[in-house]
Amino acid sequence: MTISKPPIEGALAQPTKPATKPARPYFSSGPCAKPPGWEASKLATESLGRSHRAKIGKSRLQLAIDLMREVLQVPDTHRIGIVPGSDTGAIEMAMWTMLGARPVTMLAWESFGEGWVTDVNKQLKLNATVLNAPYGEIPDLSAVDFSNDVVFTWNGTTSGARVSNGDWIADDREGLTFNDATSAVFAYDMPWDKLDVTTFSWQKVLGGEGAHGVLILGPRAVERLETYTPAWPLPKIFRLMSKGALAEGVFKGETINTPSMLAVEDVIFALDWAKSVGGLQGLMGRSDANAAALGKIVADRTWLGHLAADEATRSKTSVCLTVEGADEAFIKKFAALLEAEGAAYDIAGYRDAPPGLRIWCGATVDTADIEALGPWIDWAYSQLTS
């Protein structure tokens, strides 16, 4: 594809390569950049090669749970468990074990939310009400019926659109709220009293390794598990009940299947780093600063735009950008140019999203690296449009 080159207003075109590269050019939206200062040699190793059911294994898993509770400020009323299958495993576990007790409303505004709709309607056959919106927008939240169970994605990783807060969730709701928060926790303040089920993975804002999910259950979700049995069979890795009672061990470091203790040590490192930068407030501040720096880059260029036009519902982590006139082939070349130069890795938009760029602005990215990316974006654009 060839795009006729318009002037780059507000920024100089770059006939030569910029002199300075981002020190850490890791802008993937998952797995995301490791925390600053991370080195494999800094991870504790005492639990490696040991059983996760041994005292040391369970203690390290419990420490990871305790640190997540501390940093996220999760109240004692909510249980936190480490489960298999990343965020996908966690949200599927929640839906398969708890949905079906009452009508369901699904909210979808990006590919992962659409995937949960498919599973609920085609696999569980629950004929859910679906409220959706195109990429970059969110549905009308005032239309949600909270007599239903409600499943939604807080931050659309592939669309760059998010809910602004939890004010739209009814305090007197009859149904449960199921919050897929995988690119949201550690970057936004979660209203835990509004959230009955919350899921995420370590590989987003914490920059942890993949394959492990986290399931946070409020008391209403626990009550659902203890009083409702779904009509369909449950795979072993989804079972949260044992002999008619909640499997409490899952929330005390006794995982359903064998975890990677290396990944556990990695997330403990990330959580200790999170505490060192001010905990939740520090993490949110870093994400906010990164999003603001990228916002300035976009504002200074007429050919760049935000896929999520409404700033109130624009992601501060998985920021999705439009490039004027670009198609999928152009974006692939654009991203490949920057990767070849070691200036930016993995910034092409998600395969199901409209062609564009996606730049991670979560807390493990340094603002200076976002700022250094601007001239390189100009350079790549000039290379492809001259």
pLDDT of residue 3: 54
Which two three-digit tokens encode residue 43? 């991870």
CB 55 within 8 A of CB 63: no
SS3 assignment, position 150: strand
DSSP structural state of residue 167: T
Q: Which of 273, 380, 364, 272 is nearest to 26 (CA)?
A: 364
CA distances for 150 relative to 124, 136, 154, 198, 319, angstroms: 15, 21, 12, 12, 25
**What's this model's pTM, rounded to 2 decimal places?**
0.95
Low-confidence ranges of the chain (pLDDT < 70): 1-15
Q: What is the pLDDT of residues 87-97, one digit of tens each?
A: 999 999 999 99
For the chain, the straight-line distance linking the first and the last C-alpha, in angstroms and rounded, comes to 12
* DSSP sequence for 23-64: SS-B--SSS-PPPTT--GGGS--TTTTS-TTSHHHHHHHHHH
Quote the percentage of the chain above a pLDDT of 70: 96
Q: How far is CA 248 from the centre of its chain?
A: 26
pLDDT of residue 15: 55
In DSSP terms, 161 is beta-bridged to 314
Strand 212-217 to 79-84 pairing: antiparallel
pLDDT of residue 31: 96
Q: Which of 356, 340, 298, 283 is nearest to 32 (CA)?
A: 283
Neighbours of 48 (CB within 10 A): 15
Q: What is the pLDDT of residues 112-137, one digit of tens each?
A: 999 999 999 999 999 999 999 999 99
In DSSP terms, 318 is beta-bridged to 360
Neighbours of 303 (CB within 10 A): 21
3-state class percentages of the chain: helix first, strand second, coil last, to nearest 5:
35, 15, 45
- Domains assigned to the chain: 40-274 (3.40.640.10), 279-385 (3.90.1150.10)
CB 175 within 8 A of CB 148: yes
